[in-house]
Amino acid sequence: MARCIVRHSLIIVVSAMCIASAKAHHAPTEYDFQQVVEMEGTLVEVSWRNPHVRIRMRTGTDATGQPVIVDIEGSALSVMRRTNATAQGLHVGDKVRVAGHPSRRGPGRLLGLNLLQADGRELLFEPGGVPRWTTAPLGSETNWFDQRNLESSRSGIFRVWSSRFDEFLAWNPEQPPLTDAARRKAAAWDPVNDSVTQGCSPVGMPTIMDNPYPFEFVRQAGTILLKMEIYDAVRVIHTGDTRRESLQKGLLGRSIGHWEGDTLVVATDGITWAHFDHQGTPLSPATSIVERFTPAADGSRLQYTMIVTDPVNFTRPMELTKSWMARANESVKPYECLER
């Protein structure tokens, strides 16, 4: 998959990778990806937190003398802290220049691409972004695209797994096979103004598995924990003779796992989350999911298959596949989310 190519004009080429962060925490069509606008102003707020980094900038005053404030949103903190971009060069009161995609909701929002700091250094808001004003911007150094330094000295799933940033969207190649009732419900979804995510509130299964951040399998007595960086979520996978009826329903459902050779097979139901994906595709309480986690023989990759059965919304089971990599020295970090 190609990286973003940003032209120094209002016409840009946008690949699916370019909207990866936007997809996770914004309505994916809120922003006009066919335009890049530039603006200058004074920083009035810098927030380097999940679900996305955010700066607020005063660009002038309106006709009544009130300050005009623009919200600029970038990638998630979980993305940015795996680059060499930091907030150290951003200070309230600084004069900065920003380039980004304008929001269709109104003129006060921007999806940031590039920022020129007061000290003359450029900052990229997205891994793989293209410099606009300088040749070596902050954020250009990252391991998100690195296929080297894979940890292959161990086998099995009990370790930290991560993604290539330009691969994690590849797991959903087809549109969900919707029933007529689900199609009518999906038609009411407003892709500009509606979003399945609300600040720091967690999403549920299966949506939560569609993110690029690291996770780790941890073995405990009678259970396997899938500890995720996103939302600091922990999926509890019960093993042994656990009776499904004894488990509580919830956003992540009731999961029971067993081994087929080196493959961990997980069956989940009891999901109270109402969405299949980030695009608002409906999900019913009758949904059941079967996942298969299979490590490669050399331990460097984890192959994944998810089959989602929803007799209310899908005309047939939906099968999704993807893989993760075991990147050396990767860890699951605290999510550090700030509600706004």
pLDDT in tens, 98-133: 999 999 998 899 999 999 999 999 999 999 899 999
Residue type, 205: M
Residue 339: burial class (beta carbons within 10 Å; 0-12, 13-18, 19+): exposed
Continuous segment of H or E residues that includes residue 333? none
Contact indicator for 117, 90 with CB cutoff of 8 Å: yes
142 pairs with which residues across the strands? 83
Answer yes or no: do 118 and 256 share one domain: no
User: Is 199 inside a domain boundary?
Assistant: yes
Q: Which two tokens stand for residue 216?
A: 């780790």
Sheet of 254-260, strand order: 160-161, 215-220, 223-228, 234-238, 254-260, 263-269, 288-295, 301-309, 318-325
Continuous segment of H or E residues that includes residue 91? none
Answer yes or no: do 111 and 179 share one domain: no
Cα–Cα distance measured from residue 144 to residue 214, given in angstroms and rounded to the nearest whole number: 11
pLDDT in tens, 137-191: 999 999 888 776 676 666 689 999 999 887 765 565 578 899 999 999 999 999 8
Is the pLDDT assigned to residue 7 strictly greater than 60?
no
Mean pLDDT, rounded, for 186-214: 93
Answer yes or no: do 110 and 60 share one domain: yes
Answer yes or no: do 305 and 232 share one domain: yes
User: Is 177 inside a domain boundary?
Assistant: yes
**Residues, the chain:** 340
Q: Which of 39, 48, 123 has its CA nearest to residue 78?
A: 48
Three-state secondary structure call for residue 80: helix
Residue 79 is part of a domain; what is its CATH number?
Answer: 2.40.50.140
pLDDT in tens, 288-331: 999 999 999 888 899 999 999 999 999 999 999 999 999 888 99
Contact indicator for 276, 176 with CB cutoff of 8 Å: yes
Answer yes or no: do 72 and 118 share one domain: yes
Residue 230: pLDDT band (50, 70, 90) is very high
Answer yes or no: do 59 and 204 share one domain: no
Residue 242: pLDDT band (50, 70, 90) is confident
Answer yes or no: do 173 and 80 share one domain: no
Q: What is the pLDDT of residue 243?
A: 86
Q: What is the pLDDT of residue 2?
A: 34
Answer yes or no: do 265 and 211 share one domain: yes
83 pairs with which residues across the strands? 142
Answer yes or no: do 116 and 20 share one domain: yes
Q: What is the pLDDT of residue 319?
A: 93
Rg (CA), the chain: 21
Answer yes or no: do 220 and 313 share one domain: yes
To which residue do tokens 């969900």 refer?
176
Range of the domain at 173: 160-325
Higher pLDDT, 28 or 266: 266
Q: Are strands 318-325 and 288-295 parallel, antiparallel or unpaired?
A: unpaired
Cα–Cα distance measured from residue 103 to residue 96, given in angstroms and rounded to the nearest whole number: 20
Q: Which two tokens stand for residue 316?
A: 């047939």
Answer yes or no: do 201 and 313 share one domain: yes
User: Is 245 inside a domain boundary?
Assistant: yes
- For the whole model, what pTM was predicted? 0.89
Q: Which two tokens stand for residue 48?
A: 């380097």
Contact indicator for 181, 281 with CB cutoff of 8 Å: no
Answer yes or no: do 176 and 313 share one domain: yes
